Structure 1
Amino acid sequence: MKHSRGRVLDVTTLDDLDRRLAAGARTLAGWRVVGLDLTERGPALLERSLAQSLFLGCEFADGDDDAVRRAGGVVLHDIPGSPVDPYRSTLYSPADLYDTPRYDDSTDARAYAWSRGRTTPEDTLAMALHDHHVDEALEAWVSGRRMVGVMGGHALVRGSAEYADAARLGHLLGDALTVATGGGPGAMEAANLGAFVPGGQTDLLDRALAHLARVPSFTPDVGAWARAGLDVVEEVDGPGRDSLGIPTWHYGHEPPNVFATAIAKFFRNAPREAVLLEICNAGIVFLPGAGGTVQEVFQDACENYYADEASVAPMVLVGRRHWTEDLPAWPLLRALARGRAMEPHVHLVDSVEEAVEVVGVSPPDAG
């Protein structure tokens, strides 16, 4: 059992199922049994009340699935042809997506190719179910955490000063908060990298940046880009710090980075962007970016514009020249905030250290 929420109880192992049945459970109402081989459990299940129970991607002995349906349970079988589990109960790890030596053979690459093919109604159903269950797993993962978002351009290359700044930002924020990004390359990867490296290990972060600079971009070879990142992961002594990535297969040109320890990857982009902004209860830092980052700035601004004082989280734009001259979003954002509850919570700064202070984490030299 991974987690329960209200009357919903997720049962994802046979041991957990057997334990609950042996403890005397007489009804499975509200149970969601996921991905189990139930070929030898049919008689035990059918002795109980199965009304309002749900069986997702489970295997039954011949006829048992129909018997469960007649008893009031809902049975949804695996959907043929899907490269992903539409009923998965946990978020992805980097190893789940980069699960083969050759990137083109990986789950990540196959899922993207499948989503861009000539989809059938069954394929569309599988994608919708997948995104629904990833969303539920994400809700469980973020529960009780103070999340801070870092947004920025996907085109930022390893080895640049801006990439190093984004990594330092993630590293400092990770001392007190859980960092969340869009989960892709560029500024997103850098922030997840910084968050992943254990606190205070700036020497390790510097070595990681130097190693990654040898493969500056995910083009033309995603596999080489990912392997350089996995080399860094292996160098960390023990588990790195948790951080979150929320990428999408909608953008096939943006592979997931390997430094987010938990990855909520969606097929649809719209819910992915909405939930990324929603979960960042400690605020969002916006690094220089282009169209996607500008969209995120004003999507977040819209949420804050209509929020009450207790619900507004900081918005921090980093880079005065970028946000006032190159892409002058700041004047409009400031005008939009004027007189609203969000007004004292929007900030324009020039340095990583200023951004960290605004969201309530003191840099090491600040005491």
Structure 2
Amino acid sequence: MRHTHGRVVQVESLADFDRRIAAGATSLSGWRVRAVDLTDRSAQLAACRVAGAAFLGCRLAPGDAERLLAEGALVLPAAPGAPLDTARADLYTADELYGDAAYEDSVDARAYAWSQEPATPETALAQALHDHAVDQALARWVTGRRLVGVMGGHALQRGSEGYAAAAALGQALAGPRGGTCTVATGGGPGAMEAANLGARLARRSAGELEAALAELARVPSYRPSIGAWARSALAVCAAHADPVDTLGIPTWHYGHEPPNVFATAIAKYFHNATREAILLEVCNAGIVFLPGAAGTVQEVFQDACENYYADESSVAPMVLLGRSYWTDTLPVWPLLQALARDRHMGDHVHLVDTVEEAAEVVADLADGS
């Protein structure tokens, strides 16, 4: 069944497109319009906000593709045949996913377009084999490492205070202050990108990180241009050799969220449920949760559920950063405390207010104190 309720709306016929427009739709964010002939719908498209929409293998009137791209939509041609190695031996790199061409021609974009083609037993098998190969490569990569997760909102823009704080957290966790952990994120934009950036530059000074943040702020978002967003980050990478290893685990399920380039290793999955479970599983040094919306709250309680039923030796620390946010804005902390009471996880949940406190908690746990 193709779900059409929630954040993703699948539109696979002109009649369905027309029905939704007639019902009053004015924002197409989250729409995936696939293989629909829209050459006579220029006026309807022009009347809608299209940032965050994806047009996959659609026919468009001359000039519409360029306008949609400029307004923040993703426009990809049909991609017959698997555009990547389904039996790969290693994790991805940013250079491999993005390449040197326009984003629309990149491995990342072509893989997403291919994943949105009508499902067949062959494509389902190919995607399952690919994700299994990524699993195997990831298992080898994480061996012997202490991984701490950083989770937070994908909408956090470069140049914001929250983005700078997430970058400072990543730098602290990957450095001596945080017990020299390997930082892992969901691999996307926003807080995830910032944490991977900070971790990547863990050997650099705070001033060098500030300079990188200032450079990135020139392109604050991946909308309207994923290509410009990625190129600005790749330029920062090129200016800072000898990166510290850091991990991103993104998914093609949210094709409108491109992978950030600051993760030195990228485990990208087609199946988001697998990716979510793996991300929690590999963070053996715990997870720091930055302010976020529904997705971050979901991750908090996914992690809490694992810890609730875990034996004492298997509980992974949880650190919520932002006392006011997690108690007043989104009152997650009181419920988490209630769940943790009289359980093994009770001593492993923490609420802090600063990056320094979060890094100190993780470092203390790394030392076994």
State whether TM-score is above 0.5: yes
Q: Is the 8 A contact 1:159 1:213 kept in 2?
A: yes
Given candidates 190, 193, 207, the residue that maps to 1:186 is: 190
CA distance in structure 2 between the partners assigned to 1:153 and 1:329 by the alignment: 15
Given candidates 221, 227, 237, the residue that maps to 2:225 is: 221
Give 2:111's aligned amino acid. Answer: A
CA distance in structure 2 between the partners assigned to 1:304 and 1:142 by the alignment: 21
CA distance in structure 2 between the partners assigned to 1:196 and 1:281 by the alignment: 19
Q: Does 1:170 align with 2:174?
A: no
Residue in 2 aligned with 1:267?
270
Q: Deviations over 1:72-108 (max 9, x none)?
A: xxxxxxxx81011110010000011001320000000
Structure whose CA Rg is larger: 1
Shift of residue 361 of structure 1?
A: 6.0
Residue in 1 aligned with 2:322?
319
Residues 1:217 and 1:361: Cα distance change in structure 2 (over 3 Å): farther
Q: Does 1:115 align with 2:115?
A: yes
Q: Does 1:148 align with 2:152?
A: no
Residue in 2 aligned with 1:335?
338
Gaps of 5+ in 2: 1-79
SS of residue matched to 1:195: helix
Residue in 2 aligned with 1:278?
281
Give 1:126's aligned amino acid. Answer: A
Q: CA RMSD in A?
A: 1.2
Residue in 1 aligned with 2:13?
none
CA distance in structure 1 between the partners assigned to 2:174 and 2:364 by the alignment: 9
Q: Is the 8 A contact 2:308 2:340 kept in 1?
A: yes
CA distance in structure 1 between the partners assigned to 2:160 and 2:217 by the alignment: 8
5 Å matches for 1:26-65? none
CA distance in structure 1 between the partners assigned to 2:133 and 2:261 by the alignment: 22
Give 2:245's aligned amino acid. Answer: D
SS of residue matched to 2:87: coil
Moved over 6 A (4+): none
CA distance in structure 1 between the partners assigned to 2:246 and 2:157 by the alignment: 21
Q: Deviations over 1:43-71 (max 9, x none)?
A: xxxxxxxxxxxxxxxxxxxxxxxxxxxxx
Gaps of 5+ in 1: 1-79, 363-367
Q: Deviations over 1:302-359 (max 9, x none)?
A: 1100111111121000111211111111111000000000001101111111111111
Q: Is the 8 A contact 2:172 2:202 kept in 1?
A: no
5 Å matches for 1:3-82? 81-82=81-82
CA distance in structure 2 between the partners assigned to 1:134 and 1:203 by the alignment: 36
Q: Is the 8 A contact 1:283 1:313 kept in 2?
A: yes
Shift of residue 235 of structure 1?
A: 0.6
Q: Using CA pairs under 8 Å that are at least 6 residues apart, name the structure with larger relative contact order, 1 or 2.
A: 2
CA distance in structure 1 between the partners assigned to 2:139 and 2:121 by the alignment: 27
TM-score by length of 1: 0.75
Give 2:139's aligned amino acid. Answer: E
Residues 1:218 and 1:199: Cα distance change in structure 2 (over 3 Å): same
SS of residue matched to 1:342: helix
Q: Deviations over 1:173-229 (max 9, x none)?
A: 011000000000000000000000142422211110000000000111000000010
How many residue pairs match? The answer is 282
Q: Does 1:131 align with 2:131?
A: yes
Given candidates 284, 302, 305, the residue that maps to 2:305 is: 302
CA distance in structure 2 between the partners assigned to 1:119 and 1:105 by the alignment: 22
| % same residue | 68
Residue in 1 aligned with 2:250?
247
Residue in 2 aligned with 1:85?
85
CA distance in structure 2 between the partners assigned to 1:265 and 1:100 by the alignment: 19
Q: Is the 8 A contact 1:181 1:246 kept in 2?
A: yes
Residue in 2 aligned with 1:347?
350
TM-score by length of 2: 0.75
Q: Is the 8 A contact 1:314 1:358 kept in 2?
A: no
CA distance in structure 2 between the partners assigned to 1:300 and 1:344 by the alignment: 15
